[in-house]
Structure 1
């Protein structure tokens, strides 16, 4: 069985993975030999820098539950200065250079974004602004996203993020969606660490990262 697939888990738009690693994508049965293709390098970027962030916890769960052929690293964007064209030339700040190198060298990006005032967070927008400028290291990168939020599960934060990724030419996975309504009492999570402990949602996070790994290899073979 090809690694990266979980039998019986819905991964793409209602498709189901069958024994043998076959996945029904647009009514075509395909087999993806993930091991032969090598490790998929995924960079996780959280739009929250608070210590007990559930969105950062979402990324930790995705890293833990990722297929064995996925190399998952979580970036730290807390040290990035506010984007300023005066800092672009001749040399960008070392924190920016280090972060952009991580983005450049990864195969795909997994964003986790809270929703602030019907939008994404300033720290996440700042990271995107740095990455899209001189040079644009986001160009042609496949991405997916998830969010932990209030009644809408962070949907408007994701919408704002998708819009900001259009100009840098990032390819965002449309389905499945990952919107965790964190504060209605139905989701189990550790408020001290931000870790998602709810088994149902951990299963959905796992399905998301599995689906993303399959799709990202098609976008960025």
Structure 2
């Protein structure tokens, strides 16, 4: 089971990228998580799209195509998702000039998120689910992983809080079970 992990943060010391690294460690047997960075993705522009997707967009769409599922680590900025994550979804929610379907169409997406705030990323995750449904993706129906006060649980890029590690491991196992059921 190949999962593509995407962090909605570009920050070098991102809590959400650290969460993806923890997910790689905690993934259930048979699940492999590859992290894809969004650092070189241009801002969505339909004029550019009409000329053909830029190489970084093509690579992202291919990575999603080849994955069995997508794990999004969703930060919360000003009560919503980050511009970089929304931009990535804008690109992959459209087929572009050379495809018949969008990369996200029908893809089962799992969401987790970390924030220094007291409510974690609850508002951003709610917003992200709406955007993903609109983009044709399916969102994992199980509970949420909301890592609140992330600065106390992620230290030097490592998820150190055992309760949070257990919750993330259970979340990934539930996701694996759902993916397996969909694959028949």
Q: Which residue of 1 aligns with 2:47?
A: 86
CA distance in 2, matches of 1:161, 1:220: 24
1:198 CA displacement = 1.1
Alignment partner for residue 125 of structure 1, among 76, 80, 86? 86
Task: Give the SS at the match of 1:175.
Answer: coil
Q: Which residue of 1 aligns with 2:67?
A: 106
Alignment partner for residue 66 of structure 1, among 10, 16, 27? 27
Superposed, 1:1-221 pairs within 5 Å as 40-134=1-95, 135-149=101-115, 150-182=117-149, 187-190=152-155, 192-193=156-157, 195-221=158-184
CA distance in 2, matches of 1:133, 1:43: 18
More helix by share: 2
Larger Rg: 1
1:68 CA displacement = 2.3
The alignment yields a C-alpha RMSD, in angstroms, of 1.4
TM-score, normalised with respect to structure 2 = 0.91
Q: Which residue of 1 aligns with 2:98?
A: none
Task: Give the SS at the match of 1:126.
Answer: helix
Task: Give the SS at the match of 2:9.
Answer: coil
CA distance in 2, matches of 1:171, 1:109: 10
- Unaligned segments of structure 1, at least 5 residues: 1-39
TM-score, normalised with respect to structure 1 = 0.77
Q: Deviations over 1:54-104 (max 9, x none)?
A: 111111111111122112111111110000011112321111111110011
CA distance in 2, matches of 1:70, 1:93: 30
Task: Give the SS at the match of 1:92.
Answer: coil
CA distance in 1, matches of 2:69, 2:61: 13
1:52 CA displacement = 0.6
Q: Deviations over 1:87-146 (max 9, x none)?
A: 112321111111110011111111111111111000000000000112411011111111
Task: Give the SS at the match of 1:88.
Answer: helix
CA distance in 2, matches of 1:49, 1:213: 27
1:219 CA displacement = 2.6
